[in-house]
A and B are shown apart, each in its own frame.
Chain A
Amino acid sequence: MALLEVSGLRTTFHIGVGTVQAVRGISFHVDKGEFIGIVGESGSGKSVTMLSVMGLLPQYAEVKADSIRFDGRELSQMSPRELRSLHGKEIGMIFQDPMTSLNPLFTVENQMVEPLRIHLGMSRERARLRALELLHQVEIPNPEQRLRQYPHEFSGGMRQRVMIAIAIACSPKMVIADEPTTALDVTIQAQILELLENLKREMNTSVVMITHDLGVIASMCSRILVMYGGVICEEGSVRDIFYRARHPYTWGLLNSIPRIHHDSHEKLVPIRGTPPDMLKPPEGCPFAPRCQYCMPVCRRYMAPPTDLGDGHLVHCHLMHPKAPKVERGGLQHD
């Protein structure tokens, strides 16, 4: 059953030189207890999508949507006040740089106890005990002592654990993790990913993981959305995306990462060109200018989704019955 259902989301930023079309009409859903990944490069709109859903964008952003339903309620009709009460309580958030979301002037205890008191109405004593329990849950050693410290006394990995503890404090229905490990070293990233996996097993929370790293989601997520130029190119289960991808952009992504476990030295296949300028994005498929299978129709229209079964949706004109048959390896002649 869908916990979050978004349809027709469009987000634009009005800046001095024009209008940036960050998200250009996307629809998706997140099921209860599901671990979903949104992959895309910088400027693909992956972070803006979730921030729009949460109503966390700055004033000069404009969000339009046909509907954003979360747990049966329409978020786009909610007042900023009602939305705020959702944050932290029913939706937890983990950002890339924990230093910007933790207040350097307050101790960790302060920052953990506040949301518990506000959202769950706990007494100071009970909230403190809960905070200790949470720090223990995210495997921070000496929680008693750590609670009294300030954010700058924590290392990057430890800060991210604190952020996770705050995000799950009120047992939210959904956690949004926006590039939670991008700023961390590989071995610390492994620690955090393991922690997230353990939490996933313990709690029945939906997690939306936003990342540019296909490696991170391969082992974590059950379903993946691939975004490019403000639209969803392809969505499907992990196996659909990694082994049965149908969109040339997904192929391009998969081909451009080196595979350490392969013994032979195969050359990488990069995607040519550069990502679109979102001030003037193409009006057809945003990937068309870089796509090696670009057809005239691609420049004119964005492709409607084609359902390949089991929720595997592809937004590509190659799925049209009149289009030539193309596989990941290249053009198929038969």
Chain B
Amino acid sequence: MTEQKRSRVLMEVRDLQMHFPVNHGLLSRKHSVLKAVDGVSFSLLAGETFGLVGESGCGKTTVGRTLVRLYKPTAGEILFDGTDIAPLAEREVLPYRRRMQMIFQDPYASLNPRMTVSSIIGEPMRLQGFPEAEIRERVRELISQVGLKSDHLSRYPHEFSGGQRQRIGIARALATRPEFIVCDEPISALDVSIQAQVINMLEELQEKLGITYLFISHDLSMVSHISHRVGVMYLGHLVEMADMRELYTHNLHPYTQALMSAVPIADPDVAAASQRIVLQGDVPAPIDPPPGCPFRSRCRYCTGACAETMPEMREVSPGHFLACHVKG
């Protein structure tokens, strides 16, 4: 992976907000808002892997789905190759659809059980109006690219193992030759020995095709393995963002520190030597959150300022961004 290649900004996200109304029933006058993503800004360089980590409910999946416009954001800009795709109507997004794709978490739920492998892989192209002959040829090319055989094409998803299905999902995502792929927890449903197959495949494809990944995961060790830069999310906010190595060695945010130390280490000696920071309590629900830093209820360093305002994202060292009143 050559460092100088990654300099063009492919996607820039500015103050992205995605709020969902919460229904309290037909007769209730109460209106709550679930702030799944609440002001997130970052940019993706062409050909890089940007990791997005956080626990369930932190909004990382919503960010991914909003970037590929499965949702229309409440506010904010998504500059894709210079064009803001956030305010576009569904019909206007269509030309951008073939340039961005997604790989899903559950290899069992992401393939339609009633469709053959060849129609699953060909679906994006068919929807984008490619000629049938070209689709057929491309599907054959894709199936061998992900290490399966062309006589697998007429089979149905349930005949494949989890790892094979995930590779079919990757083939589908590659069909329209996208520049940008959101990988939404692509390995968390797979067995350990299969995870590495998928990760290696994603890495090889990036090297060969120069695809930009947004890699969403709760598994910090996999994110740190595959990503060039990482953003840490907590309750709809990006709390820290840096180069992977920088984040690993000089993490500053108390949440990042706790997250890092909580990852189980598969090495008894290292595990014994490392100190685990155990956070108290649970993640609060992102419905009508109070002002201030979202992490303050579980933070060891919480001060008065934390309850008043949400800390701004600032650059503490080149490329290292942090949103914390206390640290840095």
Identify the A interface with B (CB < 8 A). Answer: 41-42, 155, 157-158, 185-191, 193-194, 212-216, 218-219, 238-239, 242-243, 252-261, 263, 265, 267-272, 274-275
Contact A190 B191 (CB under 8 A): no
Identify the closest chain B residue to A214 (Cβ): B266
- 23 residue pairs of the A-B complex, CB under 8 angstroms, read A41-B191, A41-B193, A42-B191, A158-B282, A185-B56, A185-B218, A186-B55, A186-B259, A186-B263, A187-B258, A187-B259, A187-B262, A190-B258, A190-B277, A243-B268, A253-B192, A254-B266, A257-B192, A259-B266, A260-B225, A261-B270, A265-B225, A271-B193
Contact A261 B265 (CB under 8 A): yes
Instruction: Kindly state the separation between the CA atoms of A219 and B199 in the bound complex, as whole angstroms.
Output: 26
Interface centre among B199, B218, B265, B277 (most CB of A within 10 A): B265
Q: Which residues of A contact B169 (CB under 8 A)?
A: none
CB distance from B258 to the nearest CB of A (A): 6
Identify the closest chain B residue to A211 (Cβ): B264
Contact A270 B200 (CB under 8 A): yes
- List the 10 closest pairs (A to B, CB-CB), nearest first: A215-B264, A258-B225, A270-B196, A256-B196, A41-B191, A190-B262, A185-B55, A271-B193, A219-B271, A268-B196
B245 within 8 A of A: yes
Instruction: Kindly state the separation between the CA atoms of A275 and B197 in the bound complex, as whole angstroms.
Output: 13
Q: Which residues of A contact B109 (CB under 8 A)?
A: none
Identify the closest chain A residue to B258 (Cβ): A187
Q: Which residues of A contact B197 (CB under 8 A)?
A: 270-272
Contact A268 B276 (CB under 8 A): no
The 8 Å CB contact of B221, one of A185, A219, A258, A274, is A258
Identify the closest chain B residue to A190 (Cβ): B262
**For residues 224 through 277 of chain B, which have their beta carbon under 8 Å from a beta carbon of chain A?**
224-225, 245, 248, 258-268, 270-272, 274, 276-277
With A186-B259, A274-B164 already in contact, the answer to whether A215 and B265 are too (CB < 8 A) is: yes
Q: Which residues of B contact A253 (CB under 8 A)?
A: 192-193
Contact A267 B200 (CB under 8 A): yes
B305 within 8 A of A: no
Q: Which residues of B contact A218 (CB under 8 A)?
A: 264-268, 271
Instruction: Kindly state the separation between the CA atoms of A261 and B245 in the bound complex, as whole angstroms.
Output: 10
The 8 Å CB contact of A268, one of B161, B199, B274, B282, is B199
CB distance from B58 to the nearest CB of A (A): 9
